Structure 1
């Protein structure tokens, strides 16, 4: 599955179709059976991790020279989409592995890549630490600091909303190295869970994606080797923005998968459910709802694939399409899952069926990796810059 930037957007190569078939089969057989129980008990989907690690789908984006499959960006979003179709929590394993390593892949030294990336291929997981309680949408206002001390860096501060925080081995961490320079005084580092002074905080109690632990991270004079900096000093915020240009489509893919799962469930249910002597799928009002759900899901899918393809080609100025794909797809996921609950009626409001879980899971896609309000700011500024 080596990267191929020349594929036709409107007809995916055969290898991508084969990939979809393989990851769908794995998801249905080895992930979906546990999805409801993972959500109910708010536990990490160990079965999904084992299945994804065994198949190499845990981090398909990592280049072949580091032991990965070197899958192109479209192949990566297909994997995330198909896992999300049955379990959004489980899809965060490949999605956050990409988020947690993309800055390193883009700007890290060769030695640092060789230290971290094979570890991820072999089953370790990575997370991304940008946000703080008072620096969410305004990420440049972060307060976590990194100070040079001999051959080491010493980090002090707190990060929040860290997806898979208590399960990851490696963390891309943004910290202030020069407070006088604003965004240009932020640097990026790779922190290992065993580094002295690194502490994982308690798990958040969340509305959805309950199988994915979200934690605070505490850096208490956390000392890391000097060569764990990503790129040059002061380039961390640029690395963070570059990373999001490449990973926002993965959140779009997660949203598309959630929407598709809800649509599939709604079609099956409305064909089976009888009222007034006939299947409710034959009522025009229901037909129109299903048509709109499918139309919007397909549009979102194409935008996500288009965004991923442009990133794969190494195009510049990805801000608009990256934000647009994430924003549109997540809005679609929220609408489609809400409509699915409506089509299930009272049954949709119970945990006996998966659509209420999908509706709860869909909501976060409008919030993380930049709220959809921030996405619209990014898009409008890209337009106004011409």
Structure 2
């Protein structure tokens, strides 16, 4: 009668919680932080209001996506508007991105101007010297920075988005009072996590901090690499292994701890600025710690809690990357459109050609979705949400890949002119490449999204399985779950939560998206049954599930924003409707293709071939020596 009941009873599937750590997931990308979880009863699934998390159960959790957030009050809007004009004027009249790129540093007039604007302390409370902006206000200003100079953006972001963000999130009142006024007053901050032997696997860091014999200090030794602002920072958030007593066994084990480290403590040095492909004006350097004495009151977030601190810092700041890159995309699109409107070939302007129109339309849709994600997540955060970590990870991946595509297509539209340095696009392309790598590589974040969602679905399926052991006592849970799925499966109605939130003009697109969500939930169940905990080793499948997740979430965000625009009216409403519809159509087609690959044995057989090919290349230490061509 009920599909879920048949799955649980007939298959007797074991849905233990999947150990994400077993994949050696990185501190940069792992789920654990998102889970400053509240204690819960054994066997119970914690309520999670994340839209993305609930996709893995084939359900629509609409409250964080619909309606599109509108969180700024009148005073906040006025404050933001007062900041936008001087910020835009600064980048048009003072900052010179080409000069910064050439001299490989932010020139002094620009740095001083940024400090005077308060750009280095946007979210520090006003009483401690900052501007006290909300996440949404912050996103709007970061968008301006991204539209003009990504190298400057990294200098600003490394300082406040991650550099001293841990003090904002985890600092004691004393730590905040001591350090936040300083980071607002020309003392640079940095986030020091990455080491030569630990990139994505942050748990393998070697830097150590041992308690001094008198118990008053930790003695820090080690080094960090590729630290943004590393050559300038006076105040650093540093992560190191510390010995901690395991409360269960009583044995001493190593756990990561976060520290606030001042260069003035002594023993802190750095190497020369790194030579990089892009973001050249951003200072990047190795940092060395030689018997640095850190007062015990400078432990940040508690001894042994450094992993959680790092994760929360990174999760909290990722939406800013989407905001910045939406600004970058806007700049690229403007350059391409200005060129296309003037360029004539074969007797007409190239804007008349379907191939150019298709490029521009896709670039516009990618910008729309990226910008919509940034303000969706910042709005969620400003509303007090604690369930945005998967969405933030998606926004980082989506934005960094979309911006690269948009810049590349802008160059293509402009042809040879786009390749020339004077247009500025070659600098933007060089600057963009790092965004798919740092603050969690997109490869690791895809696994993070897929595995976290699967873990949530698996825990819930196990809860349902347990309910069937005592059906009379758990009829509510069983019938609730079954009704959610069966009604959709047999077509008695569409998922109720979609139709009631989107505008009437978008019902068809919403219906197609709802079908994708249901199909996605079925695929997750199939994966859990087939692979169980060993799914952590099936990266070919996990990547395709992640891509499907990206397409579903991005479509929901676009439909939400377009619905808000249609209800409000205005000149752009129909344009937004068309973009949301076109994006959802293409996205749902990609979802279907990815889910078909997940469920098709033939495609998985092809992956086995690909794995074998790769192993041959690894063994040959390069391209395999082929039989000579007979030319």
| TM-score, normalised via structure 2 length | 0.57
Structure-1 separation of matches of 2:349 and 2:107: 36
Which of 318, 321, 334 is the aligned partner of 1:251?
321
Determine the structure 2 residue equivalent to 1:74. Answer: 136
Which of 269, 276, 300 is the aligned partner of 1:206?
276
Instruction: List aligned pairs for 1:104-123, cutoff 5 A.
Output: 104-123=167-186
Determine the structure 1 residue equivalent to 2:190. Answer: 127
Query: Deviations along 1:49-105, whole A, 9 cap, x unmatched?
Result: 222211112220111231111100111122222111111011123312221111111
Residue 141 of structure 1 and its aligned partner are, at CA, apart by 0.7
Structure-2 separation of matches of 1:47 and 1:294: 34
Q: Secondary structure at the match of 1:160?
A: strand
Determine the structure 2 residue equivalent to 1:162. Answer: 227
Structure-1 separation of matches of 2:384 and 2:410: 37
Residue 239 of structure 1 and its aligned partner are, at CA, apart by 0.5
Determine the structure 2 residue equivalent to 1:222. Answer: 292
* Contact 1:191 1:228 survives alignment (8 Å): yes
Which of 233, 248, 255 is the aligned partner of 1:185?
255
**Which of the pair is proportionally richer in helix?**
2
Matched residue count: 379
Structure-1 separation of matches of 2:253 and 2:166: 16
Q: Secondary structure at the match of 2:397?
A: helix
> Greater relative contact order: 1 or 2 (C-alpha under 8 angstroms, separation 6 or more)?
2
**Which of the pair is proportionally richer in strand?**
1
* Contact 1:58 1:93 survives alignment (8 Å): no
Instruction: List aligned pairs for 1:225-240, cutoff 5 A.
Output: 225-240=295-310
Which protein shows a greater Rg?
Answer: 2
* Larger displacement relative to structure 2 (42-51 or 300-309): 42-51
* Contact 1:208 1:361 survives alignment (8 Å): yes
Question: Does 1:175 pair with 2:224?
Answer: no
Q: Cα 1:66–1:254, aligned 2, differ >3 Å: closer, same or farther? A: same
Alpha-carbon RMSD across the aligned residues, in angstroms, is 2.2
* Contact 2:270 2:286 survives alignment (8 Å): yes
Gaps of 5+ in 2: 1-66, 247-251, 457-631
Query: Deviations along 1:108-165, whole A, 9 cap, x unmatched?
Result: 1111111111011122221101111111100111010011113122111111111121
Q: Secondary structure at the match of 2:291?
A: strand
Determine the structure 1 residue equivalent to 2:398. Answer: 328
Q: Secondary structure at the match of 1:203?
A: coil
Residue 257 of structure 1 and its aligned partner are, at CA, apart by 2.1
Residue 214 of structure 1 and its aligned partner are, at CA, apart by 0.9
Residue 176 of structure 1 and its aligned partner are, at CA, apart by 0.6
Question: Does 1:384 pair with 2:454?
Answer: yes
| TM-score, normalised via structure 1 length | 0.92
Gaps of 5+ in 1: 1-6
Structure-1 separation of matches of 2:445 and 2:85: 32
Q: Cα 1:107–1:12, aligned 2, differ >3 Å: closer, same or farther? A: closer
Q: Secondary structure at the match of 1:177?
A: strand
Which of 69, 74, 84 is the aligned partner of 1:9?
69
Residue 42 of structure 1 and its aligned partner are, at CA, apart by 1.6
Q: Cα 1:158–1:180, aligned 2, differ >3 Å: closer, same or farther? A: farther
Residue 226 of structure 1 and its aligned partner are, at CA, apart by 2.2
Which of 42, 52, 65 is the aligned partner of 2:114?
52
Structure-2 separation of matches of 1:183 and 1:19: 49
Question: Does 1:65 pair with 2:127?
Answer: yes
Q: Cα 1:281–1:69, aligned 2, differ >3 Å: closer, same or farther? A: same
Structure-2 separation of matches of 1:240 and 1:313: 23
* Contact 2:397 2:442 survives alignment (8 Å): yes
* Contact 1:85 1:259 survives alignment (8 Å): yes
* Larger displacement relative to structure 2 (272-281 or 156-165): 272-281
Query: Deviations along 1:253-277, whole A, 9 cap, x unmatched?
Result: 2222222221121112222333334
* Contact 1:49 1:93 survives alignment (8 Å): no
Q: Cα 1:274–1:169, aligned 2, differ >3 Å: closer, same or farther? A: farther
